[in-house]
Amino acid sequence: MKPDAEHLAWRLHEVPLLGHLDEDERLELASKVVFRRLAARSPLFLQGDPGDALFLVLAGSVRVMTRGAGEREVNLALLNEGAFFGDMALLDGNSRAISVYAVSDCEVAVLDRSEFQSFLETHPAAARRLLGVLCQHLRQANGQSLEPSQRTVRQKLAGVLRDLALSNGEVGAHGVLLPREVNRRALAEMLNTTRAAITREAAVLRQRGLLENEGHRVRVTDPDGLGRLASGVH
């Protein structure tokens, strides 16, 4: 059964980009959402496709993958009911840096970028608040403030890197070397943040001795430390 507008509006409130909208504005956006059903193993979108929508997983689960120059796909994450992704596509429309496939039969809610842009054109006050949110994110990316949301990105990044080390890494004497395909752009899209935020938080993880660079690849030097950080244990 499809969720009603009130439930969808509540779900949209969980998306950081939309969290500063008021209830009536989220209800209006909820009325523009469409629903898609996906059979198991079918793609929702592929790497390189236009970034033209925000997605909310309503039922089932999806797998996030990325593909490198060698055409080998690397598993980044499994997202279950309640997850969202693609919110930055509402603004920039850049091509997708990841592919997403249905793991099981699933249903997703889709907010198209064109609908969101039309909403901003008719709601200038909401557009101004959104601009304020983006300016705040920019200040954080430049290291001028430390908000709780930064720590959340750090914890999420630590958790993803730990999972990748356990599932896709090359174990060596000095840690676990991650696939070349694990890059800032793919991580940023998966974590619904910016590449600048990924760069900043990865630098912190390196300073803590949890990561190190090896050429264009990342080596996880302390998977257990990443796991503790992801769990909120500093």
Cβ within 8 Å of residue 150, ≥6 positions away: 140, 197, 200, 201
Query: Each residue of 63-100: b (16+ CB within 10 Å) or e?
Result: bbbbbeeeeebbebbebeeebbbbbbbbeeeeebbbbb
Q: Tell me how far apart the alpha carbons of residues 86 and 99 are, in angstroms, rounded to a whole number.
A: 11
Single-letter amino acid, residue 1: M
pLDDT tens digits in sequence order for the chain, 234 residues long: 577 888 899 989 888 788 888 999 999 999 999 999 999 999 999 999 999 999 999 999 999 988 765 667 788 888 888 888 888 888 888 888 889 999 999 999 999 999 999 999 999 988 888 887 777 655 555 554 444 444 578 888 998 898 888 777 788 778 888 888 888 888 888 888 888 889 999 999 999 999 998 888 899 999 888 988 887 755
- C-alpha distances (whole Å) from 197 to each of 38, 188, 193, 200, 215 are 32, 8, 7, 5, 21
